[in-house]
């Protein structure tokens, strides 16, 4: 493995750690979900670097794609239900 490969792998590992930390520490749910999706995509790249393309495809499709979309949909429903609860409480 060349020096450039080692450097790329090191930066990839640091980026994964940084994204994971930011996603866990973020108070804004939308930002946390976006960071989670970015983490999943970088994790797929890490699996490719480890010569596991099948796991990389599963990580990209399920980990980042499907789970990210479900989390965004859940956040939208949560915000919508909070709005309706606020309107109901104001009417009382």
Residue 5 lies in a domain: no
pLDDT digit string (tens) for 14-31?
A: 999 999 999 999 999 999
* pLDDT of 68 over the 70 cut: yes
| Residues 46, 12 contacting (CB under 8 angstroms) | yes
pLDDT digit string (tens) for 28-65?
A: 999 999 999 999 999 999 999 999 999 999 999 998 89
Residue 19: which residues within 8 A CB-CB, separation 6 or more? 35, 38, 39, 42
pTM summary value: 0.85
Residue 30 lies in a domain: yes
Overall number of domains in the chain: 1
The candidate with the shortest Cα–Cα distance to 44, out of 68, 79, 70, 75, is 68
Residue 84 lies in a domain: yes
Query: Domain range for residue 80?
Result: 13-91
Alpha-carbon distance 22 to 20, whole Å? 6
């Amino acid at each position: 493995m060349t020096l450039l490969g080692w450097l790329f792998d090191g930066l990839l590992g640091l980026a994964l750690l940084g994204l994971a930390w930011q996603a866990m520490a973020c108070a804004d749910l939308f930002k946390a979900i976006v960071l989670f999706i970015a983490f999943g995509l970088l994790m797929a790249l890490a699996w490719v670097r480890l010569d596991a393309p099948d796991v990389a495809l599963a990580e990209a499709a399920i980990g980042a794609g499907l789970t990210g979309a479900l989390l965004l949909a859940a956040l939208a429903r949560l915000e919508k239900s909070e709005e309706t609860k606020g309107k109901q409480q104001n009417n009382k």
